């Protein structure tokens, strides 16, 4: 939603919340109906986009999401295609926004199959973006 708001240059908190709730479904839609009912009763307020994000994350993201992501990252291995490995690694990085760049590179490299690891070492990759770009070039192998 934030990509959409940026592209559409939407900056108003109320518009952002009102637009987002249109896309909620299943348990998220039920959650919003309950929250909205409480708001209408004056029991509660969600006045900003940041507050909305905080509330929805509190409801649907496990409190230990970073720990779970770190455990998955430590066990992540390149066993199938490089593409699948890159997608899984990148999705885990979204759960670990505070991870240092050198640590990202370390975990990415450590999970690769030896032939891919050796090729990235041979090319002397210096950061995670370069490592992912080089790994994507290896997809043909």
In the chain, how many domains are there?
2
pTM, to two decimals? 0.66
* 38 and 14 in a common domain: yes
Same domain, 83 and 56: no
Q: Within this chain, do residues 107 and 87 fall inside the same structural domain, yes or no?
A: yes
- At 141, the pLDDT band (50, 70, 90 cuts) reads low
What is the C-alpha to C-alpha distance for residues 65 and 73, in angstroms, rounded to an integer? 12
Q: Residues 74, 134: one domain? A: yes
Query: For residue 10, what are the domain limits?
Result: 2-60
Q: Where are the alpha helices (DSSP H) in 9-127?
A: 13-21, 26-40, 49-60, 65-75, 82-94, 101-111, 114-122
Token pair listed for 44: 């509660």
Tens digit of each residue's pLDDT (9 = 90 or more) over 69-125: 999 999 999 999 999 999 999 999 988 988 999 999 999 999 999 999 999 999 999
Judge if 45 and 106 occupy the same domain: no
User: Are 51 and 75 part of one and the same domain?
Assistant: no
Same domain, yes or no, for 72 and 47?
no
Domain-ending residue, one of 24, 45, 60 = 60
Percent of the chain clearing pLDDT 90 (strictly above)? 70
Res. 34: pLDDT tops 80: yes
Rounded-to-integer distance, Cα 81 and Cα 5, Å? 34
């Amino acid at each position: 939603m934030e990509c959409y708001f940026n592209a559409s240059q939407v900056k108003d908190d109320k518009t952002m919340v009102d637009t987002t709730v249109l896309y909620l479904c299943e348990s998220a839609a039920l959650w919003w109906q309950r929250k909205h009912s409480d708001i209408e009763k004056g029991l509660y307020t969600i006045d900003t986009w940041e507050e909305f994000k905080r509330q929805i994350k509190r409801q649907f993201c496990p409190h230990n999401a970073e720990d779970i992501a770190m455990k998955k990252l430590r066990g992540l291995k390149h066993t199938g295609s490089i593409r699948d490995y890159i997608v899984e690694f990148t999705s885990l990085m979204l759960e670990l926004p505070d991870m240092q760049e050198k640590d990202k590179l370390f975990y990415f490299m450590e999970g690769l199959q030896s032939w891919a690891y050796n090729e990235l070492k041979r090319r002397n990759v210096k950061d995670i973006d370069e490592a992912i770009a080089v790994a994507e070039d290896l997809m043909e192998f």
